[in-house]
Structure 1
Amino acid sequence: MLLLIRRSEEDDDDDPDGWSVPGYVELKELGKGASGRVVLAEHEGTGTKVAIKYLADHLSRDPQFVEAFRAEARILSEVEDPQIARLYEYIEGPQGSAIVMELVDGVALRAILREHGPTEPQSALVVLKGSLLGLAAAHERGVVHRDYKPENVLVNREGQSKLADFGIAARAGSTGAHAGTPSYMASEQWAGAPASPSTDIYAATATFFECLTGHPPYRSPGDILGLRGKHEESPIPVDEVPEAVRGLVRRGLAKKSDHRPKDAATFLVELEAVAGAGYGPEWEEEGRGSLARRAALLLLLFPLAGAAAGGTGLAQTVLGWSKRSMNMVLAGGLALVLALGGFFWYQPVHESGNPSEPKPIDSTTSPTPPPR
């Protein structure tokens, strides 16, 4: 998929943070903060609802932030898949930058776990399967998510999940500063090893563990170094999960990366075999139904809930940061409808490890495309 960059010439000197992407009608704001805003909007030509992520005006004047925001759009354009929130277009002009994305009318897995506690094993397997499908599409294209966690999994009213927020994704093999959320980071990720699909496998398994138990596999409140030590050295707590899935947890949380499945597609094959053997041929239908019921109880948090009335909806976004804090993460844009679960820190680095030269982008100048 070609990254579509629409060059907008509109400018609004009176309200630089209030510009709107031409061709869309904004319905309500989903989140706002120092780094920008996220809005629910409707495409004028088709009526399709979308989420638009605007980079804040003060950051739009910073080439490093603009490049990071553009890099998120580039990666999204390369990993188009039904399990990943889809990019429609990227807009850049004198007034700022924006990403137009598929609106996932659902609730973050984090909210489901917070409100309802652990899920049934079948539902946890459904979440893991959906995420592995999305990660497999990214891995096939050489992209590592690097920040998989419950905040980045969105569940709709049918119990289907989509993976979101590729803000700190990187090319497989690229090196640079530490990146990720501590509770879900593999030992080699803490050590700053090159980006690898194996770290996504670890994070997805840690989230699977949390679905089953209500908490991440390792905890050390207020002690970041202690938490790192547990990820690196503590035994895998397989006794806390049902016996039928202990093998999956043991494989996915292996301390050494070469002891884990090599990529999401490989792990997906293992999951299907384990789920069928442990929970029968109807495991997926049962798990999705249970997950849908849990999500339905949080319907008022969905982005489209109360849209006509201008309600606040689902979004809790990574938007309330000072520029100093943002300089620590440089996270490549705004999270779509996510709550911050604990970014470590990040610097945008390309495969060569050199952050100074942005990569070229294929671009097309065109009128607003109707979302499909």
Structure 2
Amino acid sequence: MHVPGYTEIRELGHGGTGRVMLAVRDSDGLVVAIKHLSETLRADAAFVAAFRAEAELIREIDSPHTARVLDYAEGEDDAVIVMELVDGVTLRRLLEHEGPTGAEAALVVLKGALLGLAEAHRRGVVHRDFKPENVLVTPDGDSKLVDFGVAARAGETAPRVGTPAYMAPEQWDDAPAGPATDVYAATLVFYECLTGHRPFHADDIAALAYQHLHLAPPLEEIDEPLRPLVGHGLAKEPAQRPESAEAFLAELEEAARAAYGEEWEPRGRAGLATLTLPLAALLPRPVPAGGGDGGVTSLFHNALTPAGKLAVTGGLVLATAAAVTSAFVIWSEPPGRSSGSALPPGTAVAPAAPATTSAPPTPSPAASRTPSPEPTPSEAATPAAVTPPVTDARLPSRAPVRNVAPPRSRPTGGPAAREPTREPVPTRTQRPEPSGPPSTTSPPV
């Protein structure tokens, strides 16, 4: 489908929901991203309606900390959303390349994303899929929230959707999502910025659900002044968390000033920009024909032709493309699409063998530090805490939160091997005595 008023240049990316095209608005040369719904999903009337609702929801949100929807078009053979093209990289890519951001930079990331969420919450919209892939970091050290593909009205009952690693306890319980649901996910992302890994890891959906529902997050790696902020945001009950992103933002400002002084934000933005610039520099930027900015988003170094088209070099990968095609819906896949190992509602889970535990990887100072990738229902990571058998993946029985932290491996001071723990722990796997020359190995990822 040709979108009137826009000239498409090339594909930026594609995913389960469709493809994203780089395009130029004919009237002023503005560079945009056009999201086309896939042919398979166009055959699903309910999904098309949800796609249309996504566009309507985002158009109501007017914030410099969200990617704007500029237009929506629907025809017999296509449905498209025209979106602002954001100059930046995904937070996921930043974490993969740079590891933990440092406390002040992490606070800046969280503040920008919370500002975008706050505007959505004021409009009665809940994001429901806050994760590093949906946060874009700009070269000036700012952050924007994108991809409202599974957003809903606050309090609306909807199928279980989201990314498992970032789903709040109430989402696992099939309870209505509210602003506090987004606060929980935002705090998980903040934790990942601070430590380089997520607080909860599991080898299957049921185990991950149990951890989010019952296990207290390990806070030992968090700077002590920030622990109350993280603990409040990760409370198991929505009523025990900040009631909205705006309320959480006020707590963030107070905690940041108390811990790092009045100048925490300029320092954090500078640090975040330093981390982002090497990655953003890999993207070429457009310059409009005839000079000046021409209203064109500064994203590529190449030139617009007089006809308003963009000459683009090969190998272009854009954060916006990744973000607007990344929404993950579990247990509500359209016909013909596999949901992997996701468990449908009500599926019984047989008692599992004792789970082994492993500490999250400790980031090293090397530039190649890579935090754990985003989990999917089929991810085979080892759980970070003991996960007893769960008989219902949809609704593990609630129990008082236990203050259980996952074991953490620490670097050894020399070649001497550590003796295995003598205290019997039936559900943990002991490391055997090393035979031969001792060596230091990284914990399993």
Match of 1:14 in 2: none
Match of 2:336 in 1: 324
Match of 1:347 in 2: none
Between stretches 203-212 and 232-241, larger displacement belongs to 232-241
Q: Confirm whether residue 253 of structure 1 aligns to residue 234 of structure 2.
A: yes
Q: Does the CA-based 8 Å contact 1:50-1:101 persist in structure 2?
A: yes
Match of 1:45 in 2: 27
How far did residue 107 of structure 1 move? 0.5
Q: Confirm whether residue 313 of structure 1 aligns to residue 325 of structure 2.
A: no
Q: Does the CA-based 8 Å contact 2:135-2:145 persist in structure 1?
A: yes
Q: Confirm whether residue 71 of structure 1 aligns to residue 75 of structure 2.
A: no
Higher RCO (C-alpha under 8 Å, 6+ residues apart): 1
Cα 1:216/1:253, change in 2 over 3 Å: same
Runs of 4+ in structure 1 off by over 6 angstroms are 319-322, 326-329
Match of 1:192 in 2: 174
How far did residue 227 of structure 1 move? 1.4
Distance 2:9 2:374 in 1: 27
Cα 1:153/1:319, change in 2 over 3 Å: closer
How far did residue 341 of structure 1 move? 4.0
Query: Which amino acid in 2 is paired with 1:324?
Result: G
How far did residue 143 of structure 1 move? 0.7
Distance 2:105 2:246 in 1: 19
Report matched runs for 1:34-113 at 5 Å.
35-113=17-95
Question: What TM-score results when the alignment is normalised by the length of structure 1?
Answer: 0.79
Distance 1:251 1:196 in 2: 16
Q: Does the CA-based 8 Å contact 1:176-1:194 persist in structure 2?
A: yes
Match of 1:183 in 2: 165
Distance 1:327 1:234 in 2: 26
How far did residue 20 of structure 1 move? 2.7
- Out of 211, 224, 241, the residue aligned to residue 222 of structure 2 is 241
Match of 2:197 in 1: 215
Match of 1:118 in 2: 100
Distance 1:302 1:74 in 2: 30
Match of 1:362 in 2: none
Q: Does the CA-based 8 Å contact 2:44-2:334 persist in structure 1?
A: no
Distance 1:173 1:98 in 2: 27
Q: Structure 2: where are the runs of 5+ without partners?
A: 285-298, 303-310, 343-372, 378-445
**Cα offsets for 1:236-257 (capped at 9, x unmatched):** 2121100121110010001121
Q: Confirm whether residue 284 of structure 1 aligns to residue 265 of structure 2.
A: yes
How far did residue 326 of structure 1 move? 7.6
Distance 2:150 2:66 in 1: 15
How far did residue 313 of structure 1 move? 1.8
- Out of 207, 212, 221, the residue aligned to residue 226 of structure 1 is 207
Question: What TM-score results when the alignment is normalised by the length of structure 2?
Answer: 0.67
- Out of 108, 118, 121, the residue aligned to residue 136 of structure 1 is 118
Distance 1:28 1:294 in 2: 28
Cα 1:318/1:186, change in 2 over 3 Å: closer
How far did residue 56 of structure 1 move? 2.2
Q: Does the CA-based 8 Å contact 2:13-2:317 persist in structure 1?
A: no
Cα 1:277/1:33, change in 2 over 3 Å: closer
Between stretches 39-48 and 208-217, larger displacement belongs to 39-48
Q: Structure 1: where are the runs of 5+ without partners?
A: 1-18, 330-339, 345-372
- Out of 265, 270, 277, the residue aligned to residue 296 of structure 1 is 277
Query: Which amino acid in 1 is paired with 2:68?
Result: R
Match of 1:159 in 2: 141
Q: Does the CA-based 8 Å contact 1:41-1:51 persist in structure 2?
A: yes
Query: SS at 2:220's partner residue?
Result: helix
Match of 2:427 in 1: none
Query: Which amino acid in 2 is paired with 1:234?
Result: L
Identity of aligned residues (%): 52
Q: Does the CA-based 8 Å contact 2:106-2:194 persist in structure 1?
A: yes
Query: SS at 1:239's partner residue?
Result: coil
Query: Which amino acid in 1 is paired with 2:244?
Result: D
Q: Does the CA-based 8 Å contact 2:149-2:327 persist in structure 1?
A: no
**Cα offsets for 1:1-51 (capped at 9, x unmatched):** xxxxxxxxxxxxxxxxxx331211223211124532101111111111111
How far did residue 71 of structure 1 move? 1.0
- Structure with max Cα Rg: 2
- Bigger strand fraction: 1
Match of 1:170 in 2: 152
How far did residue 223 of structure 1 move? 2.1
- Cα RMSD, aligned residues only: 2.4
Query: How many residue pairs end up in the alignment?
Result: 315
How far did residue 342 of structure 1 move? 5.0
Q: Does the CA-based 8 Å contact 1:122-1:286 persist in structure 2?
A: yes
